[in-house]
Amino acid sequence: MWKQIADVINSGRKFLITSHLFLEGDAVGSEIALKHFLKGLGKEAIIVNNEALPAVYRCFDPKKEIKFLKKDGIGTDIQDFDAIFIVDVGSWGQLGDFAEMIQSSSITTVCIDHHPTNPGFADINVVDKDASSAGELIFDLITYMHGEITKEIAESLYLSIASDTGWFKFSNTSAKAFSACSTLLKSGVKPEVIYEKVCQNKSWSYLKLINLALESLHSECDGRLAWTKLTQEMLKSSGVEYVETDVIIDLIRAIGKVEVVILFRELGEKKTKIGFRSKHTINVSKLASKFGGGGHVRAAGASLNEPMDHVVEKVLSEAKELMKKTKVCVSTV
């Protein structure tokens, strides 16, 4: 599985690394860990993302080395790089404007991902849907190449695995994920420090925004489907970044009876992002793919260039239809 990628690394000198739009813990952790690994091998490696690094993750990039495509560009011709590593990305669509630049060049593309909806879009693909996170796969790559798990690498990979497993509580929390984390802890990771940096370092307006989202919570299908929305005004006036609002979905999943949670976020007049989660029976990646998105069985997302209220209506009707057709198991506990 890793031989082809190891060959690309061993024979190359200069590498680009990127991840998806709406950067979150797994994306950021995977790319930073891969960068440190490549640099440790004496290679040149830079991370360039389509968007700026959300503030919550800046402590993982203390030297501010991560570039932001729209502001910094890639600094040189894309052809100067031997390959681009695309991590935690399931489709070209998730790369935003960067996709066009990559696709119109002849650079070798290497995708390391764990989304089951990934068709294998790059030149070289390692897509393992059973991996908890892209970070777990970067851990496997480093292990395969007998690399050293330094403290910096360990902290980034811990961020990845912890983020994607919901801090070790979702169904992708596997023995393999724990085993990788055991090694990461031996390399110096302090779980409470990472958790505090990412989850206990918010502003007052963060909780106020969550309060607003919970105030406008709706329930459908006899309480088995719950949804809410964040308007652009709510997001802007709070100053809270998009990535920090993911927690709302989890809070709603606390309700025992709820099987499906949908969070609508208004990113522009005609731009709406939808987050889907489920507990036991509904395959939300199927639901997301109906709207051009994708993801995992229990966690998926989609973006539509349409006004939010319009999207809410369309998505709810599709979700209710799916819930009618699927025998929903209320609880397996």
Binding site for Mn ion (CB under 5 A): 26, 88, 133-134, 164
CB contact set of 131 (below 8 Å; sequence gap of 6+): 114, 137, 140, 176
Give the type of residue at 130.
D
Which residue, 88 or 140, is less far from Mn ion as judged by CB? 88
Return the biggest CA–CA distance within the chain.
59
Q: How do 67-68 and 294-295 pair as beta strands?
A: unpaired
Beta carbon of residue 164, minimum distance to Mn ion (angstroms, whole number) = 5
CB of 112 to Mn ion, least distance (A): 10
267: Cα separation from own chain's centroid: 17
Q: Which is nearer to Mn ion, 28 or 99 (CB)?
A: 28
Q: How far is the CB of 125 from Mn ion (least distance, A)?
A: 15
Contact of 129 with 114, CB cutoff 8 Å: yes
Cβ–Cβ under 8 Å, residues 263 and 249: yes
Q: Given the complex with Mn ion, which of 152 and 164 has the nearer CB atom?
A: 164
Q: How far is the CB of 30 from Mn ion (least distance, A)?
A: 8
CB 133 to Mn ion: min, Å = 5
**Least distance from C-beta 176 to Mn ion, angstroms?**
15
Helix H or strand E encompassing 294 = strand 294-295
- Residue of minimal Cβ distance to Mn ion: 26
Residue with Cβ nearer Mn ion (133 or 238)? 133
Q: Is residue 161 within 8 Å of residue 136, measured between CB atoms?
A: yes
Burial class (CB in 10 A: 0-12, 13-18, 19+), 196: exposed
Nearest CB to Mn ion, comparing residues 19 and 245: 19
| CB closer to Mn ion out of 113 and 155 | 113
